Structure 1
Amino acid sequence: MAPDDGAPTRTREETVALGVELLDRLEDEELPLPDLMDRLETVTTSPAVTREVLEEAERRGVIEREDAVVRVHGSGFVRFDSQVICREGEFSCRRCGAGITTGHFIALDAGELGPFGSSCIRKVTGREE
């Protein structure tokens, strides 16, 4: 039996909205583009959708791109006490692919993102490099 990755099926618009909200919640003030892309790959691996997320985030003033550096002008951060939900089960981490028994999910207005392992949740939110 394949592990449940916990990822619901989303429309393209929902995926873009989730990606923009994730960027809006990053704790980093500035990121190299490859690091930002690593975070966005938790939302989508489609280059076209990733481009839409970046364009929409830039249009809304969430990010500013210059060369290979992205400045984040987010409105907040992920609150671990109220926005990170832990569930027990058999999951695959959405970031690294490792098998995990405790999935950490980020509850955002645009939807839920996860599951992540205990170290990947910190990397995705910018709490750990």
Structure 2
Amino acid sequence: MPPKRTRAETVELGVELLEHLEDDELSLADAMDRIEAVTTEPTLTRDILDEADDRGVIDRDGATVRTRRGGSFVRFGSQVVTREGDFSCRRCGTGISTGHFVTFESGELGPFGSSCVRKVLGRE
């Protein structure tokens, strides 16, 4: 079960995820797929996109989201840590024994399976 966060903490974590995307451009649907790693609540998803746009993290143009290169890529090994246990992947729900957790300043996302963490971060 993911940690309970306030609305403001969830928005901050979502914006930070968008700051670290490796894609220069992606569809709004793909951006929302990434944000679902943080929340599946539609109003929070909208708040995350609006806040990221207001801060200049992204530019939205219709169904396209363009990232601005203000942030940095997530580093595997330092910002992505693994833990052994009995987990369910936050993205796909599959049972996993090794959870991958992404550590940001505003909090931690996970657990994810090895392929889902790469998808969330835009490496696949």
Q: What amino acid sits opposite 1:62 in the alignment?
A: V
The aligned counterpart of 1:82 is: 78
The two structures have a TM-score, normalised by structure 2, of: 0.97
CA distance in 2 between counterparts of 1:106 and 1:118 reads: 12
Per-residue deviation, residues 27-78 of structure 1 (Å, max 9, x unmatched): 0000011111111011001111111100100011000000101001141111
Tell me, which stretches of 5 or more residues in structure 1 are unaligned? none
Q: Find the partner of 1:102 among 80, 98, 103.
A: 98
Q: Does 1:44 align with 2:39?
A: yes
CA distance in 2 between counterparts of 1:21 and 1:48 reads: 18
Tell me, which stretches of 5 or more residues in structure 2 are unaligned? none
Q: Find the partner of 1:11 among 6, 11, 28.
A: 6
The two structures have a TM-score, normalised by structure 1, of: 0.93
The aligned counterpart of 1:68 is: 63
Q: May I ask how many residue pairs the two structures share in their alignment?
A: 123
CA distance in 2 between counterparts of 1:17 and 1:88 reads: 27
Q: What amino acid sits opposite 2:13 in the alignment?
A: L
| Runs ≥4 residues deviating over 2 A | none
Q: Find the partner of 2:16 among 13, 17, 21.
A: 21
CA distance in 1 between counterparts of 2:4 and 2:78 reads: 24
The aligned counterpart of 1:34 is: 29
- CA displacement at 1:81 relative to structure 2: 1.9
CA distance in 2 between counterparts of 1:81 and 1:97 reads: 23
